[in-house]
């Protein structure tokens, strides 16, 4: 299975929480009203939070979160070998 990068642009997040409903293993609504991508690392070059997923169910869940986000703050990218 290919690897995918899940990317959160937290500055775009409006806190709708739709991602937390469809993929609660990966997304959590914080006290400041925005979501966080659990176990992610901050990329200083892009100013975005990132995590790598490989398991098919993890990719599917995060694609659902990407589709549910009303402001496109979540992006899934396939990592090319």
pLDDT of 71 reads: 98
Residue the block writes with tokens 């070998």: 81
- Total structural domains within the chain: 1
Going residue by residue through the chain, which has 81 residues, state the pLDDT in tens, using 9 for 90 and above: 799 999 999 999 999 999 999 999 999 999 999 999 999 999 999 999 999 999 999 999 999 999 999 999 999 999 987
User: Which CATH number does the domain housing residue 57 bear?
Assistant: 3.30.70.20
User: Is the Cβ–Cβ distance between 64 and 53 less than 8 Å?
Assistant: no
pLDDT of 53 reads: 98
**Of the candidates 78, 46, 2, the residue with the CA atom closest to the CA atom of residue 66:** 78
Domain assignment of residue 9, given as a range: 4-78
């Amino acid at each position: 299975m290919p690897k995918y990068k899940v990317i959160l642009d937290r500055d775009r997040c409006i806190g709708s929480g739709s991602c937390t409903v469809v993929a609660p293993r990966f997304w959590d609504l914080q006290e400041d009203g925005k979501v966080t991508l659990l176990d992610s690392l901050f990329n200083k070059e892009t100013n975005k939070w990132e995590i790598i997923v490989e398991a098919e169910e993890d990719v599917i869940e995060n694609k659902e979160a990407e589709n549910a986000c009303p402001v496109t703050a979540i992006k899934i990218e396939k990592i090319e070998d």
